[in-house]
Amino acid sequence: MSLLPRFGTRPVSARIGVSGVVREWDGASRSGVNSAYLASVVRAGGVPLVLSPLMGAEAAAGALDGLDGLLLTGGEDVDPALYGAQPSRHLGTVSSERDRFELALLAAARERELPVLGICRGIQLVNVAFGGTLWQDLPSERRGILNHNPRTPRDARAHGIRVLEGTRTAAALGRLEFDANSFHHQAVRDLGRGLRAVAWAADGLVEAVEPEEGGWLVAVQWHPEEMTTQAGAPDSGLFRAFLAEADRGARSVRAEVPEHAVG
């Protein structure tokens, strides 16, 4: 009698690469990602795989082999040198290693037409990759009517968002207006070439972007991964739409593999 666990035969779901971070924690250097990102991918039916910037930009394209989608997560500020700006004295921590790795991941994903979902830093990185610029520090550079970094729980809805009808973002969320959580001090300033803004806060700050052409890409400024445990949350729709697109691509690729090639 075998003591090995028995596993089901359900087909493997879409594999999603999730960009990770490197942090000093509990006396050691560790690499990983907030579990909310991984849990949200799992809830939407996907298999999340963490991609550490320790791999280096040169390995980014190879890191996407066998994957069906890319999730760009939150974290450090994007280095202003990447968009031709001098650093503000309010600039937070930057990681050139992570910037280079994620820019290479994004370029490879776009070349392969893999679906991409960007969150918080993710929208900022996408905008910079397309040639755009960022507000380095909203409180000091763009005084608006909203506090985009309130001291509230991560799953607290902080302000309203208006979404453009007929966009992928609107279709995924299933509504044109809703309240989102918010904790960031950087944001899209000048929009990158080939991108269009598709959602805004009440003070006009860009909250979501999509490409004008090319493969599936949605990038948002808020943190939908923190909201997917809430019943009926529109944020869950972003992950479902992302995984649905990744599943379509996965089935198409795997259908091309000849039966005799499976050993």
From the list 148, 223, 226, 245, the catalytic residue is 223
Contact 106, 127 (CB under 8 A): no
Instruction: Please identify which residue in the block is written with the tokens 């937070």.
Output: 92
Rounded distance between C-alpha atoms, residue 110 and residue 216, angstroms: 9
Question: Is 223 a known active-site residue?
Answer: yes
From the list 102, 210, 225, 245, the catalytic residue is 225
Question: Is 24 a known active-site residue?
Answer: no
From the list 102, 120, 207, 226, the catalytic residue is 120
The two most distant CA atoms of the chain are separated, in Å, by 69
Sequence-ordered alpha helix ranges (H) in 31-176: 35-43, 60-63, 96-111, 121-129, 138-141, 168-173
Name beta bridge partners: 179.
Answer: 160
State both tokens at 64: 């996407």
Rounded distance between C-alpha atoms, residue 183 and residue 148, angstroms: 6
- Residues involved in catalysis: 120, 223, 225
